[in-house]
């Protein structure tokens, strides 16, 4: 990556980069809410038919599943954003 570059293209690159970033964040937050507030609480009655170790899937999501998904989300985001930084030439040199 070359340092500096054209000022205008830098600005445009930053704009496109930010737009993609916000989209990735929004999708990640949809999953974040779905596993916790969704499967763990509000949609639990819907999942009550799926048995997991003496109880149902919603209970598992509320006590363990959501935590595992949170972990996956953060690592996915870090990996995806580091790739995006490089694609748009806005990463740290």
Chain residues in the site for another protein (CB under 8 A): 14, 17-18, 21-22, 25, 28-29, 32, 36-37, 40-42, 44, 52-56, 59-60, 62-64, 66-68, 70-71, 73-75, 77-78, 81-82, 85, 89-93
Report, in Å, the least distance between residue 68 CB and another protein: 8
What is the C-alpha separation between 20 and 57, in angstroms, rounded?
33
Q: Where are the beta strands (DSSP E) in 1-93?
A: 51-52, 55-56
Report, in Å, the least distance between residue 82 CB and another protein: 5
């Amino acid at each position: 990556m070359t340092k500096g570059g054209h000022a205008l293209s830098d600005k445009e690159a930053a704009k496109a980069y930010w737009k993609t970033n916000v989209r990735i964040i929004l999708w990640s937050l949809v999953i974040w809410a779905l596993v916790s507030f969704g499967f763990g609480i509000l949609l639990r009655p819907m999942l009550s038919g799926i048995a997991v170790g003496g109880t149902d899937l919603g209970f598992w999501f509320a006590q363990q599943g959501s935590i595992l998904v949170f972990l996956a989300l953060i690592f996915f985001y870090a990996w995806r954003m580091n790739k995006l930084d490089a694609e748009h030439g806005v990463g740290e040199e």
